[in-house]
Structure 1
């Protein structure tokens, strides 16, 4: 299985909508970009991996969908991020959907964490989400509203013990989401958070899916099928579309029922 379904939902309100996605060059982000292009949205994504991202653009175009725009960007550099957002709006018009997908869950132990590494985890996982939201807010407000979709993780809900910097940053994203939803809501900007479970990206399978991992999925997920990037992308489509117009300040958990 790949998480694909025979007749995925169509969201007419996404047709022609300008969307900005972070971390779209692989994994969950690649699936989000692909699904949005299938909905005929105008998609721009940023990523640090240039070759992989260009390959994503090629695959989407070869499948007969509008080619997304790719801008190389290190999200730790907020000026680069702001420039990419400004360039997107200048080319396509106001961004109406922001998908703050990018992050990194490298494993680490508390005793090995330095102040520099800690700051880098915050920069990689949460800081850019805030500043991207800050940058798109005026154009969403002036266009009549929009949707900001942040990415958290179930790791902070279950208390994973092998990456405390990552877990801390993902917990903070929920707090940030609720604060921004309250502040931006009067401007018809919806802010929500997606919390994926253990998604079978190429990276996850290569690094961590072994026999013990298979047993953990079977023991801890209510649904025994593996979770794939497409399963997350379809939740993003709903939150990006007008169908979710009264959803705000919420965590949307897609984890197969991880307990």
Structure 2
């Protein structure tokens, strides 16, 4: 389980206290960092995830440490019916939804010449399609909230000509189009929609599956900030976009890549 490196960030967004926040893919990696950070800001937090064991472990870790208990709802976000049920359950448990963090993704590597139609459709369902339907399911609750915010997680990967994960990078590019469109549609209802573009965020999963010491060193050499970026580096920007500190921002994105671009 990857959680925020410094469990309690030094910064505080007072308006997030008691806010109902829903995080997708919130049980591990960057998502767990978001879940923990919002909970430690005093928000009422629910998260959706397909992985039961790390999600329950996160809930147990945070139990008794935050203003409100953290709610875990198990769901396969590639299934639209499960999305709708899970978002409805989250709204019921939280008493509404004021912030949606569309974080869930799967960045598995895949060889272009070997990608099948079935793989492509499954990958797009996990990385792009579910973001649309999570936002659609949450929209009535965000509208009722009156000052809703959506934060979509994209990536700089589609800007780096990376050849090893073409379906994923396509989805991450599409998320920016989705962000702009949703911002235009939902802005009149008082909902702001923005995106975050992480650079190479070093998580335990990535180190176990494909990141090498050499690869990490090469990216640090390319960055202006000469250290590895972790999930903790995404927390401040996400809290900012979810809070009233960014009340005048919509249809925008923030790049958090240590200066890679």
Indicate the residue corresponding to 1:4 in structure 2.
Answer: 6
Structure 1 partner of 2:218: 216
- Aligned counterpart, 2:101: 99
SS, match of residue 223 in structure 1: coil
Matching residue within 50, 56, 65 for 1:54: 56
Preserved contact between residue 159 and residue 167 of structure 1 (Cα < 8 Å): no
List, as ranges, runs of 4+ consecutive aligned residues in structure 1 with deviation greater than 4 Å. none
Residue deviations 1:99-127 (CA, integer Å, cap 9, x gap): 00000110011100011100011101011
Asked whether the equivalents of residues 217 and 224 of structure 1 are also in contact (C-alpha less than 8 Å), the reply is: no
TM value normalised by structure 2: 0.94
1:35-58 deviation line (CA, Å, top 9, x unaligned): 000001000001111111000001
The superposition leaves residues 69-89 of structure 1 with CA deviations (integer Å, 9 ceiling, x where unpaired) of 001100011111111111122
CA RMSD, aligned part only?
1.5
Task: Tell me which of 88, 91, 94 is aligned to 1:89.
Answer: 91
Equivalences, count: 258
Structure 2 counterpart SS, 1:35: helix
**CA pair 255-5 structure 1, distance change in 2 beyond 3 A:** farther
Partner of 1:202: 204
- How far apart, in 2, do the equivalents of 1:63 and 1:144 lie? 29
TM-score w.r.t. structure 1 length?
0.95
Task: Verify: 1:113 aligned to 2:115, yes or no.
Answer: yes
Deviation at residue 67 of structure 1 after TM alignment: 2.4
Q: Are the counterparts in 1 of residues 46 and 71 from structure 2 also a CA contact under 8 Å?
A: yes
Question: Does 1:174 pair with 2:201?
Answer: no
Aligned match for 2:140, one of 89, 113, 138: 138
Matched, 1:129 2:134: no
Counterparts of 2:77 and 2:22 in 1: how far apart (Å)?
13
Q: Is the 8 A contact 1:48 1:74 kept in 2?
A: yes
Instruction: Report the counterpart of residue 162 of structure 2 in structure 1.
Output: 160
The corresponding residue for 1:13 is 15
The offset of 1:209, in angstroms, is 2.6
Q: Give, in whole Å, the separation in 1 of the partners of 2:179 and 2:90.
A: 23
Residues 62, 94 of structure 1: CA spacing in aligned structure 2 closer, same or farther, 3 A cutoff? closer
* Alignment match of 2:193 (pick from 171, 184, 191): 191
Please tell me whether the aligned partners of residues 216 and 228 of structure 2 are also in contact (alpha carbons under 8 angstroms): no
Higher deviation after alignment, 208-217 or 228-237: 208-217
CA contact (8 A) 1:3 1:227 kept: no
Task: Give the Cα separation in 2 of the matches to 1:112 and 1:184.
Answer: 39
Q: Determine the C-alpha separation between the residues in 2 that align with 1:91 and 1:22.
A: 15
Distance in structure 2 (CA, Å) of the matches to 1:164 and 1:40: 39
State the alpha-carbon separation in 1 of the partners of residues 58 and 205 from structure 2. 16
Stretches of structure 1 that go unaligned for 5 or more consecutive residues are none
Unaligned runs of 5+ in 2: none
> SS where residue 236 of structure 1 aligns?
helix
